[in-house]
Amino acid sequence: MVESLAPLPSFAPRPGPVLLIIADGVGVAAEGPWNAVTEAATPVLDGLFESELYCQLLAHGPAVGLPSEDDMGNSEVGHNALGAGRIFAQGAKLVNQAMADGRIWQSSVWADAVNQARGATLHILGLHSDGNVHSHNDHLYQLLERAAHEGVTRARVHILLDGRDVPARSALDYIAQTEQVLEKLNEHGTADGQDIDYRIASGGGRMTITMDRYGADWAMVKRGYDCHTHGIGRAFGSATEAVEAMYAESDTGDQYLGEFVIVDDDGAPVGPMTSGDTVLLYNFRGDRAIEISQAYEDADFDAFDRGAHPNVYFAGMLQYDGDLQVPEHYLVDPPSIDRTMSEFTCHEGLHSFAISETQKYGHVTYFWNGNKSGHVNADLETYVEIPSDNVEFDTTPAMKLEEITDQTIELLRSGQYQFGRINFPNGDMVGHTGNLEATIEAMETQDACVGELIRVIDELGGVLVYTADHGNADIMYTETDGERSPKTSHTLSPVPFAIHDPAPTSGYRIDPPADAGLSNVAATLFNLLGFEPPADYRPGLIAF
């Protein structure tokens, strides 16, 4: 339940709307040729960052609910923090806690998964890296070790190559680590001395198979499903052989490598799924786990033809969508995020909108609203999704920014809305390609679009707030001994926070707490809307 908000006694809201721009992947890092944000010609953003109403915010590690200062922020936890105004234990931290205290092994879902896998096959699927954004291989290894301890004699691992949250061509290192773990388990057997057979069975790049989000490319999910389930893909004797062969064919990074299956000496796939098997998805982040979960567990699934769909017991590491209850079975309870900003704005009768293109649409709706699908109040909220193109985004650095901007201007000028939030995705999505020139172009397009929105905010007498959810475009490569290595992952950088207020005297100043992070933004937005924030929210970034 949410309570009514008290009006802010010392500040009257502006007559126009408050607009929040979340510039996905735009961090603050040292200037240099590696920094697409500072290398771009961005006079509008430069003006915002040099104004008195500017500060920087933490967007990684404990500031967004992740375990340590070494953990990069990501869009999921960033938008959770922005929309909830508080810090909740997230993804990796939740799983780490559950594994450390043993809760995960005492869960009924783990017991059911293991019981079904005994005498059948345990399949474990997930993003194969230690990037700690969608998954972590330590969790994979603990699942395998516990399964062996509890008498599961046959397991198959289906690996999704990363190259996005980790170095672009790092797959061979992770495969070598996993092969060592499997070899050790195969040598030792089960706790009661039974022989076991644990192997890698299939794989492919995360942006080629399996890990689509927001229904943008179901053909991508089908390729992954067919590969993992039916053993359809290029045949190789090992995962190492598969990756080495594809490396030799092009300079493509791991995330874009094609699907492959491991076959035995007779050419038969070593790990197709059959009825009676167990399938565990060890990703902990929701957005790119929902569709493949639906493909495995939905009896009425019709997004693509699954062929001879086996009846398997499927479970996720977490429940990836609480409203849709996907998946039905999960090993670790997700964070319970209540009392989000949207619940309060709807309670106060404020009209709001949220808009982005498909790639980030769920970030300003689902994640912003505490991992809940749908509207809080459809009578007061307008959600607009602009379809993304199914392309490598360095080929279209502007992505859909111009369309997002045009639609936002139309919504602002309608006079119907007091608050709007938009996500500009290209700093992140183009940044993930590792293409510096394209990311510079992306930032320049973004600058022009922010300039258009500022002009409309000035016209309407509103306020514009610019921030980001995590870094990415700010460090595009690293350099060692004169050799450049593209950096396609997020960064540990802080993010910008700037207010543009066209009022002659703003009546407030930037005054962030020492540990200011993304969770401090919501209280600030409530202030700009003329309200005291909820008492349990982290403090705002302005003082009156």
**Active site members:** 75
Name the β-bridge partners of 479.
Answer: 484
Neighbours of 375 (CB within 10 A): 16
Q: Are residues 324 and 312 in contact, defined by beta-carbon separation less than 8 angstroms?
A: no
Token pair 């001879």 in the structure block, residue: 308
Q: Are residues 128 and 181 in contact, defined by beta-carbon separation less than 8 angstroms?
A: no
Token pair 């791991």 in the structure block, residue: 254
Name the β-bridge partners of 235.
Answer: 261
Spell out the residues 6+ positions from residue 43 whose beta carbon is closer than 8 angstroms to its own: 447, 451
151-178 in b/e form (b: 16+ CB < 10 A) is: bbbbbbbbbbbbbbbbbbbbbeebbeeb
Order the strands of the 234-236 sheet from edge to edge: 234-236, 260-262, 197-205, 154-161, 122-128, 278-281, 313-318, 330-332
Neighbours of 3 (CB within 10 A): 10
What is the DSSP-derived secondary structure letter of residue 13? P
Spell out the residues 6+ positions from residue 355 whose beta carbon is closer than 8 angstroms to its own: 361, 364, 383, 384, 385, 386, 404, 407, 408, 411, 420, 421, 422, 423
Structure tokens at 168: 């672009």
